[in-house]
Amino acid sequence: MKALVKSRSERGLWLEEIPEPTIGINDVLIKVQKTGICGTDVHIYQWDEWAQKTIPVPMAIGHEFVGEIVRVGSNVNDFHPGDIVSGEGHVTCGHCRNCMAGRRHLCKQIQGLGVDRPGAFAEYVSLPVANIWRHHPGIDRDVAAIFDPFGNSVHTALSFDVTGEDVLITGAGPIGIMSIPVVKHAGARHVVITDMNQYRLDLARKMGATLAVNPQETPLAEVQKQLHMAEGFDVGLEMSGSSIALRDMIANMCHGGKIALLGIPAKPSEMDWRQVIFNMITIKGIYGREMYETWYKMSVMLESGVDIAPVITHRFDHTEFEKGFEAMMSGQTGKVILDWTT
Ligand code: NAD
Ligand code: ZN
């Protein structure tokens, strides 16, 4: 079968023939239809320091996908060929304390799809059935393809009660942007998002942000005045990975504010923890999605009116993957989808 493979320890990816995955008794085999390109895939494409340390070569990459089940293992009874599914890309160990307690998203020994095991940028992908999420048959395939990052967004955005609250999102990447309709749906009042990228600020406005600002031009203190906010933001969603953005967020929270931290900083940095202490701020780190509470919430929120489709701005055939990666690297995109049905 064809797959997008990191087959050499250098910049780039190659569309190559590799063997179809085999399945164990508890696995399913999926014919991939659409995939989303993630920042992780771009790191692997660029072959940066993290990728060189992390990715064994050769490796078929990719973890954001939707497809159709074509075969199930002999132990699999409740999933069937024809089901339209996506996959949780963190394959958990199943026997650590957290796994045993049903808190699988806290597993200490995960294997990553397209990182540690063959990925979904391929004609077929195999996963344990415990990692499969079944969609309603009519779901928009492009939206279904990005359930993984939508899940990062929902896990973060719903970490704290946002009903009636003023929410600050730092970073208008695809994950930050998808959080706008989610927190609005959950009852937030003002939703302010920051970025320096004009294309993405415009997209954030389309997705319903109260204000989408460049913090270098409009300081958050000024935003608070404009919105007549007396005491600061109630909930912060850090989705940029920038320590500057996090410091700025902490300085603009109300006393007792809550921060969910998703963005991954490139390196360690200094924080003034006194502000966290004296302002009694709660900070929660977020990794991945909750299995499967986040997936459940994503499905029902789409059914009850949340629309994330506008975050998908570019679509390419899988043979044009170079164009997709170039678009991602330009920063002038929301989500980029590759089509594997052709
Ligand atoms: P992205 O890189 O596309 O978006 C980040 C955005 O932040 C960019 O648009 C960038 O211009 C903006 N930004 C940079 N510095 C900023 C600043 N000082 N203030 C405001 N905005 C700033 O990333 P994404 O795919 O949307 O993901 C968001 C973040 O979440 C990334 O850091 C990513 O690595 C991380 N991530 C974490 C998890 C997890 O499980 N914790 C999963 C996926 C992604
Ligand atoms: Zn575990």
Report pLDDT digits (tens) over 169-223.
999 999 999 999 999 999 999 999 999 999 999 999 999 999 999 999 999 999 9
The C-alpha atoms of residue 3 and residue 113 are separated, in whole angstroms, by 14
Tens-place pLDDT, residues 95-110: 999 999 999 999 999 9
Return the ligand 1 atom nearest residue 285 CA: 41
The C-alpha atoms of residue 196 and residue 190 are separated, in whole angstroms, by 20
Residue 297 lies in a domain: no
Is 245's C-beta closer than 6 angstroms to any atom of ligand 1? yes
Nearest CA to ligand 1 atom 18: 245
Model pLDDT, residue 133: 98
DSSP-based three-state secondary structure for 337: strand
Q: Average pLDDT for residues 310-317, to the nearest whole number? A: 98
Residue 298 lies in a domain: no
Residue 36 lies in a domain: yes
Neighbouring CB atoms inside 10 A of 36's CB total: 29
Residue 295 lies in a domain: no
ipTM > 0.85 for the complex: yes
Model pLDDT, residue 115: 98
Is 170's C-beta closer than 6 angstroms to any atom of ligand 1? yes
Model pLDDT, residue 137: 86
Residue 130 lies in a domain: yes
Q: Average pLDDT for residues 215-244, to the nearest whole number? A: 97
Tell me if 264 is assigned to a ligand binding site: yes
Q: Report long-range pairs for 49-58 (Cβ below 8 Å, ≥24 apart).
A: 51/6, 52/9, 54/115, 55/6, 55/115, 56/116, 57/6, 57/7, 57/8, 57/9, 58/5, 58/6, 58/7, 58/18
Residue 192 lies in a domain: yes
Model pLDDT, residue 48: 97
* Total domains present in the chain: 2
Is 264's C-beta closer than 6 angstroms to any atom of ligand 1? yes
φ, ψ (nearest 5 deg) of residue 141: -65, -35
Are 197 and 271 members of one domain? yes
Model pLDDT, residue 172: 98
Are 8 and 140 members of one domain? yes
Residue linked to tokens 């996908």: 65
Residue 165 lies in a domain: yes
Ligand 1 centroid, distance to 191 Cα (angstroms)? 17
Nearest CA to ligand 1 atom 15: 242
**Sheet with strand 59-60: strands edge to edge:** 14-17, 2-6, 59-60
- Ligand located closest to 204 CA: 1
The catalytic residue among 40, 92, 170, 294 is 40
Tens-place pLDDT, residues 1-40: 999 999 999 999 999 999 999 999 999 999 999 999 999 9
Are 171 and 55 members of one domain? no
Are 255 and 326 members of one domain? no
φ, ψ (nearest 5 deg) of residue 237: -120, 105
Per DSSP, the residues of 50-113 read HHHHH--SSEE---EEEEEEEEE-TT--S--TT-EEEE-SEE--S-SHHHHTT-GGG-SS-EEB
Nearest CA to ligand 1 atom 29: 263
Instruction: Please indicate whether residue 43 is annotated as part of the active site.
Output: yes
Calculate helix-pair angle for 293-303, 147-157, nearest 10 degrees: 100
pTM of the model: 0.98
Ligand 1 pocket test: pick from 175, 311, 330, 332 the residue with the most ligand atoms within 8 Å of its Cβ. 175
Tell me if 277 is assigned to a ligand binding site: no
Q: What percent of the chain has pLDDT over 90?
A: 99
The C-alpha atoms of residue 119 and residue 47 are separated, in whole angstroms, by 17
- What CATH code is carried by the domain that includes residue 120? 3.90.180.10
Are 129 and 31 members of one domain? yes
Q: Residue 259's closest CA among 163, 169, 183, 148?
A: 169
Residue 213's domain comprises 153-285
Neighbouring CB atoms inside 10 A of 6's CB total: 23
Are 94 and 203 members of one domain? no
Q: Among residues 270, 285, 300, which one ends one of the domains? A: 285
Tell me if 87 is assigned to a ligand binding site: no
Is 172's C-beta closer than 6 angstroms to any atom of ligand 1? yes
Is 195's C-beta closer than 6 angstroms to any atom of ligand 1? yes
Helix (H) or strand (E) holding 329: helix 321-330
Return the ligand 1 atom nearest residue 39 CA: 25
The C-alpha atoms of residue 61 and residue 270 are separated, in whole angstroms, by 34
Instruction: Please indicate whether residue 80 is annotated as part of the active site.
Output: no
Are 121 and 35 members of one domain? yes
Q: CA 96 from chain center: how many Å? A: 25
Is 236's C-beta closer than 6 angstroms to any atom of ligand 1? no
pLDDT band for position 228 (50/70/90)? Answer: very high
Are 135 and 208 members of one domain? no
- Ligand located closest to 130 CA: 2
Neighbouring CB atoms inside 10 A of 237's CB total: 33
Are 325 and 231 members of one domain? no
- What CATH code is carried by the domain that includes residue 219? 3.40.50.720
Are 177 and 124 members of one domain? no
Q: Average pLDDT for residues 101-124, to the nearest whole number? A: 97
Tens-place pLDDT, residues 250-288: 999 999 999 999 999 999 999 999 999 999 999 999 999
Is 174's C-beta closer than 6 angstroms to any atom of ligand 1? yes
In this model, does residue 132 exceed pLDDT 90? yes
Model pLDDT, residue 139: 96
Q: Average pLDDT for residues 125-129, to the nearest whole number? A: 98
Residue 20 lies in a domain: yes
User: What rounded mean pLDDT belongs to the chain?
Assistant: 98
Are 28 and 137 members of one domain? yes
Are 140 and 16 members of one domain? yes
